[in-house]
């Protein structure tokens, strides 16, 4: 008979024995050694029936297909752009995936996306050698103008978004800022400078306390202390859905 050596929702470290015997199955982030199951990362353990799953608490972002990320232009090539994805690998956006608009061969690509621009993009493909392809065709995928971009741990992104976006819409409504959270841990905030600072502080707080229950109430309390109304109706523009993507040429034109 298998024996569970740990409890649901506890923090485990690499090499820690989670279960003995063949009754339990190693899931994500765990592995089998002999008849034991051991942890392969620092994380929170989830016991789902017979399967043991480990939710990592830290780590670098690994590009995944269909992730919507915020990326920065680091190079402009002959028929596309190279982006920094806040991971170990850069990503390529080719002209044909950037827009349905006609772009003549040899035209100056910096008028669309210039070096240093932040863009909301979607990952279309990741190869085994981690060559990443992007697209900006789709709703809400476009260049980010104004505001500020902050970096957080990519594993904290689900907590920042919350269940069905509850956490991020709470912050949006309270501060009146526009917020876009990229799966790669980059967050774009645009609003009144004072409100932006409150958002940054709130996100830092979520990041530092992401493993604690009742986080939404904690954030609510924090926002109220800062003088924001958390139950006020949504301010104009705050919860506005990303509009249908329109390709806008750079100011240089």
Q: Which two tokens stand for residue 151?
A: 């970096």
Q: Nearest approach, Cβ of 100 to other proteins (angstroms)?
A: 32
For residue 216, give the 3-state DSSP assignment.
helix
Q: How far is the CB of 200 from other proteins (least distance, A)?
A: 11
**CA separation for the pair 79, 12 (Å, rounded):** 47
Binding residue (CB under 8 A) for other proteins from 7, 100, 129, 253: 129
Contact by Cβ (8 Å): 97, 150 = no
Binding other proteins (rule: CB under 8 A), the pick from 22, 77, 115, 212 is 212
Cβ proximity of 160 and 167 under 8 Å: yes
Build a one-symbol-per-residue string for 172-191: x at contacts with other proteins by CB under 8 A, - elsewhere: --------------------
Determine the Cα–Cα distance for residues 199 and 170; give it in Å rounded to an integer: 11
Neighbours of 100 (CB within 10 A): 8
Answer for the pair 110, 119: CB distance below 8 angstroms, yes or no: no
58 touches other proteins by CB under 8 A: yes
The verdict on 33 binding other proteins (CB under 8 A) reads yes
77 touching other proteins, by CB under 8 A: no
Q: How far is the CB of 146 from other proteins (least distance, A)?
A: 26
Please give, one letter per residue, the 3-state secondary structure of 127-179.
CCCCCEEEECCCCCCCECCCCEEEECCHHHHHHHHCHHHHHHHHHHHHHCCEE
Beta-carbon contacts of residue 165 (< 8 Å; ≥ 6 apart): none
Binding part of the chain for other proteins, among 15-23, 135-143, 181-189, 225-233 by CB under 8 A, reads 15-23
Stretch that binds other proteins, among 13-21, 92-100, 110-118, 170-178 (CB under 8 A): 13-21
Using rule CB under 8 A, residue 247 touches other proteins = no
Q: Which candidate, 205, 225, 226, places its Cα nearest to that of 216?
A: 205
Cβ proximity to other proteins: between 141 and 205 the closer is 205
Q: Which is nearer to other proteins, 38 or 160 (CB)?
A: 38
| Residues numbered 86-105 forming contacts with other proteins, rule: CB under 8 A | 88-90
Q: How far is the CB of 46 from other proteins (least distance, A)?
A: 15
Q: Where along the sequence are the contacts to other proteins (CB under 8 A)?
A: 11, 13-17, 29, 31, 33, 38, 40-42, 56-60, 62, 88-90, 128-130, 155, 204-205, 207-209, 211-212
């Amino acid at each position: 008979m298998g024996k569970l050596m740990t409890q649901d929702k506890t923090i485990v470290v690499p090499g820690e024995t989670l279960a003995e015997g063949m009754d339990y199955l190693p899931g994500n982030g765990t592995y089998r050694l002999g008849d034991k199951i051991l942890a392969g990362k620092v994380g929170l353990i989830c016991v789902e029936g017979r399967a043991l799953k480990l939710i990592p608490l830290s780590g670098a972002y690994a590009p995944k297909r269909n992730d919507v990320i915020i990326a920065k232009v680091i190079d402009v090539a002959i028929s596309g752009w190279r982006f920094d994805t806040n991971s170990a690998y850069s990503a390529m956006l080719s002209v044909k995936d950037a827009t349905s608009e006609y772009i003549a061969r040899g035209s100056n690509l910096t008028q669309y996306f210039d070096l240093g621009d932040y863009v909301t993009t979607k990952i279309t493909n990741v190869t085994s050698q981690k060559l990443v392809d992007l697209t900006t065709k789709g709703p809400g995928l476009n260049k980010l103008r104004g505001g500020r971009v902050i970096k957080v741990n990519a594993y904290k992104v689900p907590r920042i978004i919350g269940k069905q976006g509850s956490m991020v819409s709470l912050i949006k409504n309270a501060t009146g800022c526009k917020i876009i959270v990229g799966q790669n841990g980059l967050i774009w905030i645009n609003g009144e400078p004072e409100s932006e600072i409150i958002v940054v502080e709130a996100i830092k707080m979520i990041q530092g306390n992401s493993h604690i229950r009742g986080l939404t109430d904690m954030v609510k309390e924090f926002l109220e202390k800062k003088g924001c109304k958390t139950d006020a109706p949504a301010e104009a523009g705050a919860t506005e859905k990303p509009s249908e993507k329109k390709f806008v040429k750079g100011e240089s034109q």
